[in-house]
Structure 1
Amino acid sequence: MVRQKDPLVRALLVNRAAHLLGARSPVTLRSLVAGTGVSTMAVYTHFGGIDGLWSAVRQEGFTRLAAALDALPTTRDPVHDLAALGVAYLTTAEANPDLYRTMFDTHAPLDDPAAADATLARLTTAAARATSAARFHPDTDPAALATRTWIIGHGLASLTTTGPLPRTALTHAVPLLTALFTSAGDTPTRATRSVRRAYRDLLSDR
């Protein structure tokens, strides 16, 4: 008899696995289902085993990140839009700290690597728009600039969401990104204004 897959059970196991990893707790079939009301067989039914579960957990993290990036509107200020993608990255990490840690703490292969790569591609597109709008030097490499933007966001998210620094450390994103965008050719005044606008809501409770 083929067991039916239940989306609610699948989501439960994904979140449970991410939580255990985030808590640095041993992850076994028994610990995964403890207190959930489902059997260990559910891991095989929905994921084919523990390895498939970890792949699904990593994929879910990138899926939620992609959804947050896709929800952002495109404005007339491409530098603001590039910075806003960094804000979405940080807020997604804050909203899903266990999934966020799993995205980078595990090495399970992704079910859809292209979907994960597309999250960085969104930053590359924004950097290319800013270059075309003459905010950055014409010889700017959009992919390289997007990567540097990602590195700043990832460093801050790792240190504040799952690490030792308080959330107030996110304020460092403004001078860090301003310096990055200025080095790419933007003026300090315009870069600061664009970044501050993007981070206004995130920093409003400081």
Structure 2
Amino acid sequence: MSPRPRDPALRANVLATAARLLAEEGPSALSTRRLARELGVSTAAVYTYFGSIEQLRREVRLDGFARLEAQLDALGSPLDPVAGLSAVVLAFFEFGMRRPHLYRAMFLDRPLEEDTAGEPTFTRLADLVRRGTDSGRFGAVPADQIELCAAQVWSAPHGMVTMVLSGALPADAARAVLEDMVVRLAVGYGDDRDQAAGSLTTAGAPGLP
């Protein structure tokens, strides 16, 4: 018997449905039978692409971070390092707003052991902080605290996305808080406030009073 032909659209639908189930009902809701029923296919069709539920959960996270990285890549690398960092933070937030089910599955489903899906994103943030220190804008950041600052930067958009998805804040209010946080972080790292606010405007935000 010839192998079952692969359908990229079905694979994408399996990932999207799995992300929704993980976000809405948690890992216990995810099974090949449930996915097959939701998609109107056989369980064998699901197994054609994913050998186990654990593999599927991992692939959902990998797919999500790949999509996030593609969105961040599209920003390019502006000469102004603080504008570059601001643009990434704002794009991170918008990603969560546009793909809430996938975002929940990426971040709120407990990662599996040896899951490194988010490492490229963290490395990107650390590199951006390092650019800020190299330029002299983040003069208050010692070399051995770059990763600590990258984690602080990550927590800003992630925290605001989580508050919106949990119903604690409307999206426009969360975005305004995030823009203020970006400037405050930059100033805390040694930047001039007016210069940091100007970089935020360059990144696509309306700026702060």
In the superposition, the TM-score normalised over structure 1's length comes to 0.88
Matched, 1:196 2:197: no
2:181 matched residue in structure 1: 176
Assess, with a 3 A threshold, how the Cα gap between structure 1 residues 19 and 159 changes in structure 2: closer, same or farther. same
Provide the rounded CA distance (Å) in 2 between the counterparts of 1:144 and 1:195: 22
Q: CA deviation at 1:21?
A: 2.1
Provide the rounded CA distance (Å) in 1 between the counterparts of 2:166 and 2:56: 22
In the superposition, the TM-score normalised over structure 2's length comes to 0.87
1-10 vs 51-60, greater mean Cα deviation: 1-10
- Secondary structure (helix, strand or coil) at the match of 1:23 reads helix
Q: CA deviation at 1:110?
A: 7.8
Q: CA deviation at 1:199?
A: 4.3
Contact 2:17 2:35 in 1 (8 A): yes
Contact 1:43 1:49 in 2 (8 A): no
1:39 matched residue in structure 2: 42
Matched, 1:16 2:20: no
Provide the rounded CA distance (Å) in 2 between the counterparts of 1:164 and 1:79: 29
Superposition pairs for residues 1-206 of structure 1, below 5 Å? 1=1, 2-24=3-25, 26-109=29-112, 113=116, 116-137=118-139, 139-140=141-142, 141-168=145-172, 169-200=174-205
For structure 1, which runs of at least 5 residues remain unmatched after alignment?
none
Assess, with a 3 A threshold, how the Cα gap between structure 1 residues 127 and 86 changes in structure 2: closer, same or farther. same
Provide the rounded CA distance (Å) in 1 between the counterparts of 2:37 and 2:130: 48
Q: CA deviation at 1:136?
A: 1.0
For structure 2, which runs of at least 5 residues remain unmatched after alignment?
none
- Secondary structure (helix, strand or coil) at the match of 2:78 reads coil
Assess, with a 3 A threshold, how the Cα gap between structure 1 residues 102 and 37 changes in structure 2: closer, same or farther. same
How many residues matched? 201
2:205 maps to amino acid: R
Q: CA deviation at 1:151?
A: 0.4
Percent identical: 35
Contact 1:174 1:199 in 2 (8 A): no
> What's the RMSD between the two structures over aligned residues?
2.2
2:54 maps to amino acid: D
- Post-superposition Cα deviations, 1:85-115, rounded to whole Å, max 9, x if no partner, equal 10111111122111110112223538972x5
Assess, with a 3 A threshold, how the Cα gap between structure 1 residues 144 and 199 changes in structure 2: closer, same or farther. farther
